[in-house]
Chain A
Amino acid sequence: MKSAVPLGREITLLLVLAALPALLSAWLHPRRPVLSWSKPAVEQVTLAQVDSWKASVLWVDAREAGAYARGHIPGAFSLNETEWERLLHALMQAREPNHRIVVYCDSERCNASEEVALRLRRELNVEAVFVLQGGWTAWRQNQR
């Protein structure tokens, strides 16, 4: 015979138990979302999401020229605030209407990718612009 534990108590127990690993995930999970009180101005995407988009992705490297020259995502266009006018032309030549533009900089802590993404949206009226979560660092870790 099963014990007649009230339904409410079972539900409460499950709801509470699930919170413990969730809190640990928020603290330790390497693929946790970026925790912030306000929504980022530009949507962040993960490498897994970008991989699922396959050929319709245009990579944009928002770092300075020296960092770009030392290494970048294959096929990525360099575009930074310092040399905006000179570098924009090459990107626009390659862009097609169905392309999703994904901008990255060094890591989660740099702002350049969001600034470049916002400027692209503003000046070119392009909606499908995203920022790569974790940036160049995340991409390199994924290659190992």
Chain B
Amino acid sequence: MAAKPTLSIAANGAGRLLLGGAFAWAAAAKIHDPATFASDITHYRLLPHVATLALSLYLPWLELLCAAAVLTRRCERGALAILLVLCVIFSAALTSAWLRGLDISCGCFGGGGASTPLVISLLRSLGLGVIALLLLRSASIQSTSDLEDVLPK
């Protein structure tokens, strides 16, 4: 018998809108001003200079593409897996910055100025990660049950 998805249709839709919308908004701000984003990454003091530059140019486009994939349900599982990994990495970086007492901007939504406390950014990142995990699990179960419907019993 096919397994039921873990989320209701409404929860699934709301989760995808929230996750996809948040990452699309974050990506747009950073695509607009990659120099400021590069500066934000530098302030974490975690990466070498060249990696910082590459990430400041590449990451916003990856976020935008994954957000679009989640919202349109194309390559959805791949996008959710990537967003989940990004949330884990962001949370680790924010935790590191917080423990080291750095007074910096998250860099999550561009801007360059230190406005949102790191703890709030961390909680937000963790929350989005949980949403990505639940959606990925639901999408994977749905994909498996679709396969079972097709394969000979």
Contact = CB atoms under 8 A, between A and B. Distances in A.
Interface of A: 1-2, 4-5, 7, 9-15, 17-19, 21-23, 25-26, 29, 31-39, 43-46, 48-49, 52-53, 133
Q: Chain B interface mostly helix, strand, loop or mixed?
A: helix
Given A10-B81, A31-B32, A33-B57, 12 more contacts: A2-B142, A10-B78, A11-B82, A18-B64, A25-B34, A26-B57, A32-B34, A37-B49, A39-B42, A48-B36, A49-B36, A49-B39
A49 to B, nearest CB: 4
Given A17-B65, A18-B65, A35-B53, A2 B143 contact: yes
B113 A52 contact: yes
B50 interface: yes
A25 B75 contact: no
Interface stretch (B3-11, B12-20, B144-152): B144-152
B146 A4 contact: yes
A37 B81 contact: no
Interface of B: 31-36, 38-39, 42, 49-50, 53, 56-58, 61-62, 64-66, 69, 75-79, 81-82, 111-115, 140, 142-143, 146-147, 149-150
Given A13-B75, A46-B112, A29 B39 contact: no
Given A2-B146, A10-B77, A14-B75, A33 B38 contact: yes
Given A33-B38, A43-B39, A44-B39, A4 B58 contact: no
Contacts of B69: 14
Nearest to A27: B57
B77 A7 contact: yes
A71 to B, nearest CB: 24
A1 B56 CA distance: 38
Contacts of B33: 31, 46, 48
Contact of A15 (B32, B82, B150): B82
Contacts of A15: 62, 82
